[in-house]
Amino acid sequence: MSSDSQREAQEKETGRIEAFSDGVFAIAITLLILDVKVPLLEEAEKAGLWTVLLERAPNFLAFVVSFFFILVMWINHHRLFTVIRRSDNNLLLLNGLLLFGVTFVPFPAALVAEYLNQPDQIVALMVYNFWFFLIAIFFNAMWWYASSQKRLFSAKTDYALVKHISRQYMGGPFLYFVALILAFIHPYLSLLASFLLAVYFVIPNPSVQQLMDTQNEE
């Protein structure tokens, strides 16, 4: 068996993981809208539709923050799989765990939409950011496994760079934990923190960029 045909076969496998993951990300991100409910006619009749829509602000806020969280997760997933060139059983499972996390996001999102500005809003935001904290751990687990299994990368990978990236990603769970704690100060602060974290993780990381380039040079 030539090494070339082997590589081809395994890259095809990565292809189907990516396709399935894309599907799950795309559906989870789109299902979020189902929790943005249209106001009942009776509510609008009393106060007018404008007012009722404005009162729904927490609903829209939860939608926006959750949408960008999943989008940024997808962008980073996409980036990692530019580097991960081969697949094995454990990667399938660790990726499955990450997808489990992503699939569940509509629940804490709906929780925040329902409970923001209500007595139990701190609980809702703790669950919300705890879930993001957990997803960040799943993400690190997958990256850690893929990067330590050198055979999942290409031969030319610069492992000094890989270590550098790992250190940066490892900040994720810690940062989401901080966002969780901020809920005790103010729920909106906690929500703002998770939004800013999405912004932070979407900024192109020069090390990742460099690594992706090395891989492509191969």
Give least dist CB 189 to a second copy, A: 19
- Looking at the Cβ atoms of 117 and 174, the one nearer to a second copy is 117
Cβ contacts of residue 105 below 8 Å, gap of 6+?
Answer: 28, 32, 66, 69, 70, 131, 135
Give least dist CB 13 to a second copy, A: 7
- Looking at the Cβ atoms of 124 and 175, the one nearer to a second copy is 124
Give least dist CB 72 to a second copy, A: 8
Query: Which amino acid is it at 128?
Result: Y
- Looking at the Cβ atoms of 20 and 145, the one nearer to a second copy is 20
- Looking at the Cβ atoms of 7 and 174, the one nearer to a second copy is 7
Give least dist CB 75 to a second copy, A: 6
Give least dist CB 48 to a second copy, A: 7
Q: 129 and 176 in contact (C-beta within 8 Å)?
A: yes
Q: 195 and 65 in contact (C-beta within 8 Å)?
A: yes
Cβ contacts of residue 145 below 8 Å, gap of 6+?
Answer: 90, 91, 94
Cα separation, 162 vs 214, whole angstroms: 11
Give least dist CB 212 to a second copy, A: 8
- Looking at the Cβ atoms of 89 and 155, the one nearer to a second copy is 89
Q: What is the 3-state secondary structure (H, E, C) of 15-60?
A: HHHHHHHHHHHHHHHHHHHHHCCCCCHHHHHHHCHHHHHHHCHHHH
- Looking at the Cβ atoms of 60 and 174, the one nearer to a second copy is 60
Joined tokens for residue 63: 């939608």
- The pair phi, psi for residue 48, each rounded to 5°, is 90, 145
Residues that bind a second copy (CB under 8 A): 1, 5-6, 9-10, 13, 16, 18-20, 22-36, 38, 41, 44-45, 48-50, 53, 63-64, 67-68, 71, 74-75, 78, 82, 89, 92-93, 96, 99-100, 103-104, 106-107, 110-111, 113-115, 118-120, 123-124, 127, 202, 204, 213, 215-218
Cα separation, 172 vs 88, whole angstroms: 25
